[in-house]
Structure 1
Amino acid sequence: MFPAGLAPAPHAWLVRPLPEGAVDYPAGTYRYGSTQRGNLRPHHGVDFENPVGTLVLAAGSGAVVFAGTDRADQLGPAPNFYGNVVVVQLQQAYLYQPVYVLYGHLATITVQRGNWVEAGAQIGTVGGTGVAFGGAHLHFEVRVGYNDYD
C-alpha cells in the first residue's frame, strides 16, 4: 500500500527486445561474460536464439546512431563481427553517461540512422549475419559511456 498520490517508480528502463511468443531468454551456450573455457573473448552481451525473420524490437526509446553493416565501422572485436547492426542511444543516461543498446546479427534492418524509436517499435529481424556462432540469433548488448567494443 502506498500513501495517497504516490506509486512505485519503474525499476527497469528496458523492455524485451522480442515479441511475445519468441524465445526471450538468453541462450545457455555463450552466456554474458563467458569465455568458453578461455577459448574466446568475454561475451559482451546475451544471445536470443530465434528463427530468421523473428521481429526485433527496440528495448528502449532513443535515437538510432548506427544502422547498417559493421564491415567498415568496427563495432565488435573484428570487422563484420555483428553483421547487420542497429545501435540506439537511449534517452536516459546512467550516472550522466550515455547508454547505448546494440542489436547484432540482424537479417533485416527497418530503421535508419537519425530515426527516433519508441520502446517496442520494430527495428529489424533476427538473422545470422556476421560471425553468428550457433546460427540465427539476436545479439543484445548494453554499453554505458561509449559506443565501442572495448
Structure 2
Amino acid sequence: MHTATYFENENFLLVRCTAHVHFASLIARVAEWIITIDAPKGRLVLVDLRDLRTIDRPNEGPVEYVQMQKKLSREYHFASKVALLAPQPEAFVLARIFEQSAQGQIPTEMDVFRSGAEALSYLGIAADDVDLFIQTLGDGRPLD
C-alpha cells in the first residue's frame, strides 16, 4: 500500500509505503503523483520506505520511471530533490537501484538514506524525526 500527501506551503511531497508493494506499480504511482500535483519547480520529495515489508519484481520499474520522466520533462516540473528513506537492507538495495537508474537521466537530485534525520537534512529540513516533522506540517492534500 502506498499513499501520498502534498504540503503546499512547504512545497513538500511525502510518499509512504507500507506492507507489500509491487515495485513497478509503486514507481508508476510516484511518477503520477509527482506529475499531477502541478507543484512548482523546486519541490522536495520524501519517499518513506520504513514500513515496507515485501516487494515484488524489484528489477521492474526504475527504467520505466526514468523513461517516463524524460518524455514528460518538457511539460512538467521536476522535483529538485528526492530522498529515499530505506532503513531495511532489502529496501535500501531497491532504492539504490532506483537512484542509479535515474542518475544522469533526469535532473532531480536523489539519494538513499537509512536515517530519517539524514534524509531530512539532505532535503534542507532542520528536523531529526520524520514523524514529528510531518506532524508539524498539519493537514496536507492527500493525492489519490
Q: TM-score, normalised by structure 1?
A: 0.28
Structure number with larger C-alpha Rg: 1
Higher fraction of helix: 2
* Larger strand proportion of the pair: 1
TM-score by length of 2: 0.29
